[in-house]
Amino acid sequence: MAKEVLVVAEQVDGIIANVTLELLGEGKKLAHKLDAPLSCFILGHNIDSQVDRVIAAGADKVYVADHPELAEYKTLPYRRVIIDEINTWSTPPHTMLMGSTTSGRDLAPRIAAYFETGLTADTIELDIGPYEHKAGVDKSKIGYFPECLYANRPSFGESLKARILGPWKDPQMATIRPGVFPLPEMVSKPRSEAAKIKNVEVKLEESDHRVRISKILREAGSKIDITEADVIIAGGFGLGSIEGFKLLQELANCFENSVVAASRKAVDLGWITYPYQVGQTGKTVRPKIYIACGISGALQHRVGMQKSDLIIAINKDPDAAIFSFAHHGIVGDLFHVIPEMISQIKASKKEPAFA
């Protein structure tokens, strides 16, 4: 079997998660550089309809494991099915990608440990390129490797980006958080013409049932997920207190499909809860408008929002790092600037439209 770029799909209630489609879009670029097929491994129950979605996202091959025990994510059954299937291949995939989600972070290291290979977590950039290992204690690792997975992630206190390589054994693995890469263009194709589909045999052992799911509780609410908002008003340490978020909410109310979010510092201080944190240790977002209020712009925050269509920064420190990459910057006291913005936006909405 030729080398492959394999994306392990994530599904919730039988629906493929967006992070899987994002990884297929980025995986297609890696597969092109390797001159290799892009594959997708789907595990679940009654998931046949989702095959068309991953094909539309670019998958050349689809491995489908359909079984009642796979309806909800469970560590041991998922691990068993993926490892058993790969063990039937003549060679393992060159690259294996998973979402850096609750389930992905649980499953990926278990598969990496089985294959005794490396795993880079919370990757923000992927590429394929050469590497020459010239020295080291283990002489067997010395050599030239023309097709390495470059997995870049923040390091050294999230102030620098580090390139992680592990070319000595396949699969070369990485997890990537939702929102890091854009959704690919979905192109519908007939299955017979678009991809090879393999139904994977599921053979679970008694030891795979040591953990059982008794009940699943998912938080429900009217608030918008920050990864789906068109406009995000984000606050940082510069807000001074939890009261500052009330002002941000007033600004957010001026826009449709908007939500208030925060930097890690604001979350650590308890001013807002973790689901609204943007950054390397929070969520990655790509809104149409991102207004950063009192946020310095450290790398760990930047990687979570730098691909927003429009970034507006408000900070009283003219040397704040965020001004170096914001599209527009306002140097001033946010408690004076934001009320004026609210006033101007409301006034513009009251003006009559001209034909």
Q: For the chain, what are the domain ranges?
A: 5-123+168-209, 226-350
How far does Cα 27 stand from its chain's mean position? 13
- Amino acid residing at 59: A
pLDDT (tens digit, 9 = 90+) per residue, 238-276? 999 999 999 999 999 999 999 999 999 999 999 999 989
The Cα–Cα gap between 90 and 38 comes to 17
Strand segments, DSSP code E, in the chain are 5-8, 11-12, 15-16, 38-44, 61-66, 95-99, 119-123, 125-133, 143-155, 160-164, 172-176, 196-199, 231-235, 258-262, 289-293, 310-315, 328-331
pLDDT score, position 355: 45
pLDDT score, position 214: 80
| Mean pLDDT (the chain, rounded) | 90
The Cα–Cα gap between 82 and 72 comes to 15
Q: Do domains 5-123+168-209 and 226-350 have the same CATH topology?
A: yes
Give the pair of three-digit tokens for residue 208: 């795979």
Nearest residue to 118 (alpha-carbon basis) of 183, 168, 176: 168
pLDDT score, position 138: 79
Single pTM value for the model: 0.79
Nearest residue to 315 (alpha-carbon basis) of 232, 243, 239: 239
pLDDT score, position 324: 94
Question: Do 17 and 176 contact (CB within 8 A), yes or no?
Answer: no
pLDDT (tens digit, 9 = 90+) per residue, 37-59? 999 999 999 999 999 999 999 99
pLDDT score, position 213: 80
Strand segments, DSSP code E, in 206-288 are 231-235, 258-262
Nearest residue to 40 (alpha-carbon basis) of 178, 200, 177: 200
**Which bin fits 309, alpha (ψ -120 to 50), beta or left (φ > 0)?**
alpha
Nearest residue to 171 (alpha-carbon basis) of 110, 119, 101: 119
Q: Which CATH number fits domain 5-123+168-209: 3.40.50.620, 3.40.50.300, 3.90.1150.170, 1.10.10.10?
A: 3.40.50.620
Share of the chain above pLDDT 70, in %: 94
The Cα–Cα gap between 180 and 305 comes to 9
Give the bridge partners for 231, in sequence order. 258, 289
Segments of the chain with pLDDT less than 50: 221-222, 355
pLDDT score, position 29: 96
Q: Which CATH class is domain 226-350?
A: alpha beta
